Structure 1
Amino acid sequence: MKRALIMGGVLGVVVSVLAPVGIGAADPAGPPGSVTEMSPLPQVVAVADASAALRLVYWSRGPRGPMQSSGAIYLPPGSPPPGGWPIVAYAHGTVGIADHCAFTVQPRRLYLDTVYPELLRAGYAVVLSDYVGLGTPGTHPYLDGPSQARSMIDGVRAARTVVPELSDRWAVLGQSQGGQTALFTARIAPEDAPELRLRGAVATGPPSNLENIAPLLGPWVPRLPLRMTTAYFASILVGLRETAPEVDVDSYLTPVGRDVLALVERECVAEADAMVRDISIGEMLAKPLADPALLAAARSMLRIPTEGHTVPLFIGQGVTDRDVPAPLSAGLVAELTLAGADLEVVVYPGDHLATARDSLPDTMAFLHRVLDSP
């Protein structure tokens, strides 16, 4: 009861202070992690094991300047340990680009029923970000690793400003798009946020080496025997258009390609996939993706840093993954190993989403190892 009263008081004070602040594009940007709105999370994304569940809107950093992100905090039951609850920042997988697809407003049962409860029972607070532009003003720069990582870092900063019971000790955990985000975060955060003690990163099914495929793409590419290929490719092009408008992405597209990009901007990824899966990448492209400026922009978005990692990493990969094929991850693992990263890799028999579920025992063991000591 005392814990509930404390959280209710914190929520009431912060909401009363922040509620008048709007989130329009004209608002002056605050420092990274500054909170502009806070409210209870919608019941549709509630977790029974959480003692409190809060939704935040906070300032972060997009590819070309300040942008806002929404996010959420789930707090464990009971009293916080000395030094506060360690944080697991959850980086979510691809949901789409349209605002209504945001992770904090649409229920994803695997995470609400399994992943988050497991983390909360272990005594970890869960902080997640929708990433900049997803549910907030502007376009979400899909697969722009640096801005996704900054969304996570600034989300942890934001959470700690409104919940003082949170520790400065944290780890990042991500699946798919979130796996890419976790690995970018692992590389960027120790320098970007030295006031936060990042202890490690878990990435399952992280898309990698996509920048090496880009020069091979053009009007000749047929339908591929992979999953959601066209929707993913179109979303990457939307992200590239947002991060590097100077490369004029639309000049590479056929009318079909422009229609597909418009569709993925307004539909969530599963719905978009159902509408575009019969369209090949080649049908979308009017010319090859061979311009050096475009390839350099794609590389800065997509290429996961493999050198300079200072925290332990865990990568889980599914053998039958048709969203992120295992050979791409094999190249990433080889590069990280050659660069001397503290790396643990486990291969699972299932596909993309199954790996997020099957890896959970290994993920929890890794998190206990890196987070449980002061």
Structure 2
Amino acid sequence: MMRHTRIIVGILAGALAAGAVAVAAPAAGETRESGRIVAVQPLRSLTTKEDVARELTAAEFKVDEVRYGVDTYQLVYRTVDPAGRPTIASGLVALPRGGARELRVVSYTHGTEINRTDAPSMWRDGWAVAPALTYASAGFAAVAPDYLGMGIGPGPHPYLDVPSETTAALDLLRAAREFTAGKGRALERKVLVTGFSQGGTAATGLARALATGADGWFRLGALSPIAGPYDGRRQVLPVLASMPPPFNTGYTAYLLVSYNRLHHIYDKPSDVFEKEGVEEVFDGVHTGEELAETLGGSVDDLLTPRGKALIDNPTGPFAAALAVHDGTCTGWTPRAPVRLVVSGGDEQIVVGNATACRASFAASGVDVPVVDAGDLVYNDSKHLGANVMGTADTVKWFKTL
């Protein structure tokens, strides 16, 4: 979910976000404009497949399916916030330099980040863009939403809020369709949906929306999420304290702060946090290093008794919000190919999340396989390695469909 920390120039993100709002803040009542393009910024062109392979190799991603060079763009587009009010968001679009005029499209939703400049369309490093490059260089059109409050969009980011993750991803698909038409290309109706970690449940949320007719054009073509926390209450919360730092305290604090902003689960930070300055860390500008310094290395030291009780036994608005997050595999019946990709050695998102999702689909009469992509240590984490292995496995599967 969250990567190892690194130094980021957060001031850049704040300036970009402020500029985007000043230039193109949507007017009230413009929800009908969701998915309309506000601005396009060309990013990098990797002219040949060898250029792409070098980028992926530097990021430690696989290059087996690289066939084309890739052009990348940042799209700023209209969408809605968690309350349904008009806002803007940004995302990455990557197109192959060659191949068919009509492109199959892959939606990739990314894992946890706290600094807005780590979102895919900001291209701070290879990790953020590698999945999109993988799919685009294999001949797909790849779209990767930054989410609300990340990239160029005004913050803060509503972490693990599936409804807003879904609208941000769907509206980027709409914007990408408009954009590619202007490039003389087209996107097929059926969307191949994937995502990693936080993006795993964002992917199942988007898949459900596409499968139930949320858009007039796009439909679900296939679903292959990677290491998603589909059963957060039963499979993630109980093991938070045993995760290595900064993941243990980082995920715990991020979840409580975000859900309080959305659902008011506590009155003041000191109700749930022993440490000061916790909420300020999650402003989209602070770095991972600053998060680790503020939160410390122990969940027991981070939380008050009330905070621990919330994590141990969620009640009230917190429990209701978790139920929404954990419900992306229920209440709908996939009519497209679905698989759930895991890493059996994942130290953060245990396989029980995928088996719980599989059981929910089974209750709807659909047998969904759980595919172990294998263990790979990336930056001291098999969870992060799941993104590398899962992306390599998923692009090969998508090509068979």
Question: Given the two structures, how large is their TM-score scaled by the length of structure 1?
Answer: 0.80
Deviates more, 1:241-250 or 1:316-325: 241-250
The equivalent of 1:143 in structure 2 is: 160
Q: Distance in 2 between matches of 1:138 and 1:110?
A: 22
Q: 1:69 aligns with which of 89, 102, 107?
A: 89
Q: 1:104 aligns with which of 109, 121, 129?
A: 121
One-letter amino acid of the counterpart of residue 142, structure 2:
V
Q: 2:192 aligns with which of 157, 160, 171?
A: 171
- Give the C-alpha shift of residue 346 in structure 1: 0.9
Deviates more, 1:120-129 or 1:325-334: 325-334
Conserved 8 A contact 2:190-2:218 = yes
- Give the C-alpha shift of residue 34 in structure 1: 1.1
- Give the C-alpha shift of residue 28 in structure 1: 6.4
The equivalent of 2:148 in structure 1 is: 132
One-letter amino acid of the counterpart of residue 315, structure 1:
L
Pairing 1:254-273 to 2, within 5 Å after superposition: 254-256=273-275, 259-265=277-283, 266-269=285-288, 272-273=291-292
Q: Distance in 2 between matches of 1:42 and 1:85?
A: 20
Q: Distance in 2 between matches of 1:317 and 1:212?
A: 17
Q: 1:130 to 1:261 in 2, by over 3 A?
A: same
The one-character-per-residue Cα deviations of 1:96-124 (angstroms, maximum 9, x if unpaired) are 1x4333222143424645x3343223210
Deviates more, 1:47-56 or 1:179-188: 47-56
Q: 1:356 to 1:273 in 2, by over 3 A?
A: same
Conserved 8 A contact 1:241-1:249 = no
Q: 1:342 to 1:200 in 2, by over 3 A?
A: farther
Q: 1:357 aligns with which of 354, 367, 388?
A: 388
Q: 1:229 to 1:170 in 2, by over 3 A?
A: same
1:299 aligned to 2:334? no
Q: Percent identity?
A: 24
Conserved 8 A contact 1:50-1:117 = no
The one-character-per-residue Cα deviations of 1:178-199 (angstroms, maximum 9, x if unpaired) are 1111111111123211411220
The equivalent of 1:15 in structure 2 is: none
- Give the C-alpha shift of residue 172 in structure 1: 1.4
Pairing 1:1-374 to 2, within 5 Å after superposition: 22-24=23-25, 29-30=30-31, 31-41=33-43, 48=52, 49-65=68-84, 66-78=86-98, 80-81=100-101, 84-96=102-114, 98-110=115-127, 112=129, 115-135=131-151, 136-164=153-181, 165-167=185-187, 168-190=189-211, 191-212=213-234, 223-226=241-244, 228-245=247-264, 248=267, 250=269, 252-256=271-275, 259-265=277-283, 266-269=285-288, 272-273=291-292, 276-281=295-300, 283-287=302-306, 288-289=309-310, 290-310=314-334, 311-347=336-372, 348-350=374-376, 351-370=382-401
One-letter amino acid of the counterpart of residue 39, structure 1:
Q
Q: 1:254 to 1:52 in 2, by over 3 A?
A: closer
Q: Distance in 2 between matches of 1:234 and 1:330?
A: 26
- Give the C-alpha shift of residue 206 in structure 1: 0.2
Q: Distance in 2 between matches of 1:206 and 1:222?
A: 15
Conserved 8 A contact 1:314-1:366 = no
Q: Distance in 2 between matches of 1:305 and 1:251?
A: 35
Q: How many residues align?
A: 342
Q: What SS does the aligned partner of 2:330 have?
A: coil
Conserved 8 A contact 1:260-1:276 = yes
Conserved 8 A contact 1:231-1:277 = no
Q: 1:78 to 1:322 in 2, by over 3 A?
A: same
Q: 1:100 to 1:340 in 2, by over 3 A?
A: same
Q: 1:333 to 1:108 in 2, by over 3 A?
A: farther
Q: Aligned-pair RMSD on alpha carbons?
A: 3.1
Q: Distance in 1 between matches of 2:162 and 2:234?
A: 16
Q: Distance in 1 between matches of 2:90 and 2:240?
A: 38
Q: 1:90 to 1:105 in 2, by over 3 A?
A: same
One-letter amino acid of the counterpart of residue 147, structure 1:
S
- Give the C-alpha shift of residue 243 in structure 1: 2.2
The one-character-per-residue Cα deviations of 1:20-77 (angstroms, maximum 9, x if unpaired) are 9823476764521011111112689x97454432111111232212332101211111
Conserved 8 A contact 1:229-1:277 = no
Deviates more, 1:237-246 or 1:162-171: 237-246
- Give the C-alpha shift of residue 175 in structure 1: 0.8
- Give the C-alpha shift of residue 298 in structure 1: 2.9
Q: Where do 5+ consecutive residues of structure 2 fail to align?
A: 1-19, 53-67, 377-381
Q: Distance in 1 between matches of 2:240 and 2:71?
A: 49
- Give the C-alpha shift of residue 281 in structure 1: 4.9
Q: 1:57 to 1:28 in 2, by over 3 A?
A: farther
- Give the C-alpha shift of residue 319 in structure 1: 1.6
The one-character-per-residue Cα deviations of 1:73-92 (angstroms, maximum 9, x if unpaired) are 111112533xx111111111
